[in-house]
Amino acid sequence: MTELTELMKKHVSVRSFTGEVIPEEDMTEILKAGQAASSWKNFQSYSIIKVRSQETKQAIYDLQQQPWILSCDTFLLMVGDLKRAELATKLHAEQFHADGAENLLISSVDTALVGQNILLAAESMGYGGVMIGLVRQSSKELSELLHLPDYTYPIFGIALGVPKRHNPAKPRLPLEAVVFEERYQEQDAQVIHDFDAVQTEYAGARQTELWSERIAQQFGAPESPVTAEHLKQQKLL
């Protein structure tokens, strides 16, 4: 077991911060570690909006009211970005085609890998944070607030700061439920029932609903059209 793997296995989302400032030199190292993530053909199809002013954090909070946006030291908006791809393409070709599922996957995966590196780097330095995917519900308004041009879109945020406390790490599905030898192996609902029980034991009195019920809330109804509408507006669908 290495120090790195131990750190990764102890990951918890931190939503309570002391209010202490992350020194700028530490933030720079965290962001450089993020940049070192793997990237499709080294396109680096992402940008990061670093927000430290309380004024801008308040404006973001007004759009997506999660208190850790206000209480964190630094809020990072992780942006899928094909704007630089437009500049590069127009040096060599007459047309630029950013729209489509493959290009969305390229920029989304690149951005997610950078975000995970950022969070791991922050944790290795004693900081903590939480990913905020719900920013996509306010993607149009966020894009206007932060001046995101065509061919860019908010994917998720990261609230970073000095942890006030750490909760125990959440349980994960057993390895055999997600790792299959040689070919995909379909499972029955027992794997869901079993993990509902594990999650219930972990959460104790804090639990208000089953793990599977939260999944059903996400996938049991048609998705909100907000994300797709904004992607079309940004010329990405």
180 and 105 inside one domain: no
Tell me, yes or no, whether 95 lies in a domain.
yes
Average pLDDT over residues 7-34: 96
Report if residue 233 sits inside a domain: no
- Same domain (yes/no): 111, 163: yes
**For the chain, what percent of residues have pLDDT higher than 70?**
100
179 and 134 share a domain?
no
Residue 39 lies in a domain: yes
Mean pLDDT of 11-22: 95
pLDDT at 83 over 80: yes
Q: Binning pLDDT at 50, 70 and 90, where does residue 175 land?
A: very high
Mean pLDDT of the region 139-156: 97
CATH number assigned to the domain comprising residue 107: 3.40.109.10
Judge whether residue 42 has pLDDT over 90.
yes
Output the pLDDT for position 140: 96
In the predicted structure, residue 168 carries a pLDDT above the cut 90: no
Looking at the structure of the chain, the number of domains it has is: 2
Same domain, 138 and 26: yes
Backbone angles phi, psi at 223, to 5 degrees: -70, 155
Are 182 and 99 found together in one domain? no
Q: For residues 55 and 134, is the Cβ–Cβ distance under 8 A? A: no
Q: Which phi and psi (to 5°) does residue 21 adopt? A: -90, 140
Domain of residue 74, residue span: 3-169
**DSSP letter for each residue of 37-99:** S--GGG---EEEEEE--HHHHHHHHHHS--HHHHHSSEEEEEEEE-HHHHHHHTTT-S-----
| 12 vs 145: CA distance, rounded Å | 30
Instruction: Tell me the residue type at 220.
Output: G
Q: Are both 164 and 196 inside the same structural domain?
A: no
Q: What is the pLDDT of residues 92-103, one digit of tens each?
A: 999 999 999 999
Pick 206 or 72 by higher pLDDT.
72
Helices (H) and strands (E) in the chain, counts: 11, 4
Q: Which of 32, 231, 54, 40 is CA-nearest to residue 148?
A: 231
Would residue 52 count as lying in a domain?
yes
How far from 234 is each of 47, 120, 132, CA to CA, in Å? 15, 31, 21
Q: What is the pTM of this model?
A: 0.94
Flag whether 100 is in a domain: yes
Quick count: other Cβ atoms within 10 Å of Cβ 171?
13
What is the spatial distance between Cα 84 and Cα 107, in angstroms, rounded to a whole number? Answer: 12
Tell whether the model's pLDDT for residue 1 goes beyond 80: no
* Of 190, 191, 189, nearest in space to 177 by CA: 191
